[in-house]
Amino acid sequence: MSTEAPANVELDPENHPDSAAHPGAWRAPASAAERAEAGRLLRRRLPRRALGALTTAGRRDPLAILDEQNAGRLQDLLPLRAERMSQSPFAFYRGTAAIMAADLAADAHTGIVVPACGDAHISNFGFYASPQRTLVFDLNDFDEAAWGPWEWDLKRMIASVVIAGQASSRDEAAIRTAVLTSVRAYALAIRGASAMSPRDRFFTHLDAEAGLPNLDAASQKVLRRAIKQARKRTGERAARKITVLGEEGRLRFVEQPPTMTRLEAESEQRLHRMVRRYLESANADIRLLMRHYVLSDTARRVVGVGSVGTRCALALMQDGDGNALLLQSKEANRSVLEQYGGIPQPRVFTALVAEHGEGARVVGMQRIMQAVSDPLLGYLRIDGLDLYVRQFRDMKGGIEAEDLEDGPFASYAQACAVTLARAHAQSPFAPMISGYVGGGRTLGEVLLGWGHAYAELSRRDYEAFIAAQAGE
């Protein structure tokens, strides 16, 4: 159930992402100060304490949602998905963005919609290489990205902090500190971004190494180690590990069942068509770059936790000197924010999906929300299947939050919160969020309670999931 905005908080239709050029007399958009004031006024209609509501009684069937998702996936991989989700309450939580979207839809929200990740748990932040080959820290999963309420992303992140904290046996004080400081970090970051020009917000990014001097010694050690590992995770290094050179000079994938297996000949032919279709979505410079390569081999690749069972493949591209380029294609389905959260999407995005498929949505939202994105991003629709394409590896890496000491754990949560705020700040309505949130102390206490309540709910779902697996 959403909350209607009062008249003095109504989102200006001329500035809504749905809007086209509006003929008539010129008028300036609302200023940041005016939008911030509108956000503060929204507290009268929906007090920040109201965001602590969690309505679940008698209306939930979380396992039915998982079954519904499984119906359209590769059936032979479903046992592996269940195995990965069964590893821990946090692993289960990572695979249940759809359940959470359905839960969030039951309660009121602010009505301030932004480009939202849809699955902003703390394991979906990490490192990757910019086009300039510097290492950046940002959101790195956009399968569920769509327009949605800003607080839904923040709630998913906060719940993940609580669940990961409990999974690593932290005491309540450490979890409380991590939650409160990260909400405060979000508030300060969205306020700071709102004070910038839209162009300056657009170019802001988190350099992976720039913040090192501001961290405590333990956090610096963790970050340096993670950066070192990420720099090793290049596409070239991956190619050397998972390919072999045949007698004809052709590179081939090495099968590693069940996570990497050979595609059928029919599927391989489709991959050739997919590469051609993908290039239609790429920029002219990428199309020229790809003329150096030919498709050498393909393989099915199993990725992630919640994504297991979706169609994912690797394409091995090879130039005339034996240099390899790895591309990953992944199936894109409807965002859980739309499908289970019931959030209407702007016409410009529904039109994009209608013409080019859900892969175009994923790529579009990734380009909006990331400060810098993989230049090889692309999308295609083929044989009723929607896909998006990106480089494989390319210095992608992350931090295992559950393995951190308490201080670095809180620092990492704060970094995720700042990153999330930067993504949300691409919306013209970011000042409204800032005005509503304020300094973050009140909201922090609200979300601390909500996060614990949702962690308990997710734990019960996990136990029901384990019981269902045992009964099969």
Give 449-467 as a DSSP string: HHHHHHHHHHHHHHHHHHH
Chain length of the chain: 472
Interatomic CA distance for residues 455 and 279, integer angstroms: 43
The pLDDT of residue 19:
47
C-beta atoms surrounding 45 within 10 Å: 16
Whether the Cβ atoms of residue 365 and residue 120 lie closer than 8 Å to each other: no
Q: Provide φ and ψ at 379, rounded to 5°.
A: -150, 165
- For residue 448, give every residue at least 6 positions away whose Cβ sits within 8 Å of its Cβ, in sequence order, or none: 158, 176, 179, 180, 183
pLDDT digits (tens, 9 = 90+) for 407-424: 999 999 999 999 999 999
Q: Domain extents for the chain?
A: 31-42+59-231+399-471, 234-334+343-391
User: In whole angstroms, what is the distance from residue 299 CA to residue 267 CA?
Assistant: 9
CA 395 to centroid of chain Cα atoms: 17
Residue 367 tokens read as 């380009």
Nearest to 202 by CA among 34, 409, 423, 419: 423
Q: Are 227 and 393 in contact (CB under 8 A)?
A: no
Concatenated DSSP letters of 350-366? HHHHHHH-HHHHHHHHH
Asked whether the whole model's pTM tops 0.95, one would answer no
Q: Is 398 helix (H, G, I), strand (E, B) or coil?
A: coil
Q: How far is CA 124 from CA 94, 159, 182, 301, 416, in A?
A: 9, 13, 16, 19, 9
In angstroms, the first-to-last Cα distance of the chain is 35
Give tens-digit pLDDT for 302-339: 887 888 889 999 999 999 999 999 999 999 999 999 99
SS3 404: coil
Can you give the pLDDT at residue 24?
63
Give me the sheet containing 135-139, strands edge to edge.
Answer: 125-129, 135-139, 206-207
H/E stretch holding 245 reads strand 243-245
Contact 369, 117 (CB under 8 A): yes
Strands 312-318 and 294-301: antiparallel
Alpha-carbon span 417 to 401, nearest angstrom: 14
3-state secondary structure of 214: helix
Q: What is the pLDDT at residue 265?
A: 67
Nearest residue to 461 (alpha-carbon basis) of 51, 151, 86: 86
pLDDT tens for each residue of the chain, 472 residues long: 444 443 333 454 334 444 445 556 788 888 999 999 999 999 999 999 999 999 876 678 999 999 999 999 989 899 999 999 999 999 999 999 999 999 999 999 999 999 999 999 999 998 888 887 788 899 999 999 999 999 999 999 999 999 999 999 999 999 999 999 999 999 999 999 999 999 898 888 777 677 676 777 887 888 888 888 878 777 788 888 999 998 889 999 999 988 899 887 667 677 788 889 999 999 999 999 999 999 999 999 888 788 888 999 999 999 999 999 999 999 999 999 999 999 999 999 999 999 999 999 999 999 999 988 999 999 999 988 999 999 988 778 888 888 899 999 999 999 999 999 999 999 999 999 999 999 999 999 999 999 999 999 999 999 999 999 988 6
Q: State how far the Cα of 143 lies from the Cα of 137, in Å rounded to an integer.
A: 18
Which residues, 6+ apart, have CB-to-CB distance to 238 below 8 Å? 326, 392, 393
- Residue 197: predicted pLDDT: 92
Tell me the three state secondary structure of residue 18: coil
From edge to edge, which strands make up the β-sheet containing 312-318?
260-262, 294-301, 312-318, 324-331, 385-391, 378-382
pLDDT, position 131:
81
pLDDT on residue 6 = 37
